[in-house]
Amino acid sequence: MFHSVANECELTVSDLVIVTDNAANMLAAAQIDNLAHITCFAHTLNLAAQRALKLTTVSRLLGRIRRITGFFHRSVIANHELLEKQKLLQLPVHKLKTDVATSWNSALDMIERFLEQQPAICATLLSPQVRKSGNDICTLSNTDISTAEEIALALKPMEDATHIMSEDSTPTLSVIAPLHAQLLHDTEAAGVAAADTPVIREIKLAMFW
């Protein structure tokens, strides 16, 4: 089919370049016919971010946050109480988010929304009417909150890069090289910058090295 389209356009296959995701079948197809092949940079960013999300420290924390947000999604009482606490604490009236497996940046969205609403979440879970229906749901510890902040900080450059690569009104090919260089620069020599916490260092190493 590829050769047929090339012939129809009066082009030789050597004139063309295939761009696909990083799936094994796509890589194999390009290799079979010796086609010039470039993998999608946005998909490469996704794979790198997914590696970070699979780290034990990160996945465990995501599981704790997911359990809490899931409880609020199921409980009308908890949601109503959360709304009251948001108003009382003068926080943005935002719903909590839960991540989905097919979108890595949804995990970052979930963490950032949880951090934004953490005071209201904590106050809600301590209220007597909510504890009756969710007495096994506990908010995060101070250590967990610090870890969540570090994860969000480490993943933010990847989110920015993904948004740039997802632009549909301007070409993105010319930004790949500078984006890649900037991301590598942000890792500070393989993620061993003196200011990096162990969690941030582990995430950087998983994504870029």
Instruction: Please state the rounded mean pLDDT for residues 191-204.
Output: 80
DSSP the chain: -HHHHHHHTT--GGG--EEE-S-HHHHHHHHHTT--EEE-HHHHHHHHHHHHHTSHHHHHHHHHHHHHHHHHHH-HHHHHHHHHHHHHTT---------BTTBTHHHHHHHHHHHHHHHHHHHHHHSHHHHTT-TT--PPPHHHHHHHHHHHHHHHHHHHHHHHHT-SSS--GGGHHHHHHHHHHHTHHHH--TT--HHHHHHHHHHH-
pLDDT band at 190 (very low <50, low <70, confident <90, very high): very low
pTM reported for the whole predicted model:
0.85
- The residues spanned by each domain of the chain are 1-39, 40-208
Instruction: Please state the rounded mean pLDDT for residues 148-153.
Output: 96
Instruction: Please state the rounded mean pLDDT for residues 9-21.
Output: 85
Of 29-43, 137-151, 191-205, the poorest mean pLDDT is in 191-205
pLDDT band at 191 (very low <50, low <70, confident <90, very high): very low
Question: pLDDT by residue (tens digit) across 38-54?
Answer: 888 998 999 999 999 99
